[in-house]
Amino acid sequence: MKRVYLFGTCLIDNYYPEAGLDAIELLSLAGFESVFPQSQTCCGQPPYNSGYATQSAAVAMQTVDTFLYAEYPLIVPSASCAGMIKNHYPVLLRDHPEYEKKAIALASKTFELVDFIVDKLPYHQLTSNTPVTAALHQSCSALRETGSAKSWIKLIGHMPHVTLNLPCYAEECCGFGGTFSIKSPEVSLAMTKDKYEHLVATKSQTVISGDCGCLINLKGYAKKNGLAFPHQHIASFAKQQFDEANS
């Protein structure tokens, strides 16, 4: 079995650990053994987005050193973190020539989870699953940084028992935007309310997305307003479908 590195992400580690475990299981279904270095930390995006270049560069260097130890692909179950490593590390570290080269090398072998496995999973197993409807929230990072939103749609399209619903204004932000939701809470709240209502209007059984920040934001809005928000990370949703098929 081939090996890959798995980048856990802060939000999965702290809020959706099951998504990380399910990502490992999906990678195994696709024929890959996951290697999870314990020295990994945050990708550095929060300080980077807040203008703390020195601090975020230090985090980026730590990440580069952690995942360049072996020539395994780096798989990230988050379009946001994958986009940070692929697109921003080479720029962030350009004043550090040694690390700039390493960052470019790491970026070239970094993949968002679904982008990496979408053509490798055993979809032929999904022949007797219970029909289910799912609304997909395509995060800004998946749409505009990694382009992996297309793979999310493709993944679900391979599941004949799943009816995929896209909400109105599907390409609009949920209002999270990392530190944006803290810096501009009123604007963020209005955006989150719209996104929540559009997702609920699809009348789907669950909402799925590949970015935990968006899910946490929408869940927080629902909880504050006494509303329901059944949701799953796309890794957990996909794993659940394969579990059902093999039960």
Query: What pLDDT, in 10s, does the model give residues 40-94?
Result: 999 999 999 889 999 999 999 999 999 988 899 999 999 999 999 999 999 999 9
Architecture of the domain defined by 127-245: 3-Layer(aba) Sandwich (3.40)
Mean pLDDT taken over the chain: 96
Predicted TM-score (pTM) of this structure: 0.96
pLDDT the model gives residue 80:
96
Query: What gap in Å lies between CA 247 and CA 238, rounded to an integer?
Result: 14
The mean per-residue pLDDT over the stretch 147-169 comes to 98
Contact 151, 115 (CB under 8 A): yes
Instruction: Please give the class, per CATH, of domain 2-117.
Output: alpha beta
Rg (CA), the chain: 18
Tokens at 40, concatenated: 């990994």
Residue 178 confidence class, pLDDT cut points 50, 70, 90: confident
Task: Give tens-digit pLDDT for 100-112.
Answer: 999 999 999 999 9
The mean per-residue pLDDT over the stretch 93-97 comes to 94
Cβ neighbours of residue 162 closer than 8 Å, sequence gap 6 or more: 129, 131, 132, 133, 134, 156, 241
pLDDT of 1 higher than 90? no
Contact 199, 193 (CB under 8 A): no
Domain ranges in the chain are 2-117, 127-245
Whether 2-117 and 127-245 share one fold: the answer is yes
Query: What gap in Å lies between CA 108 and CA 209, rounded to an integer?
Result: 24
Contact 11, 214 (CB under 8 A): no
pLDDT the model gives residue 185:
87
pLDDT the model gives residue 70:
87
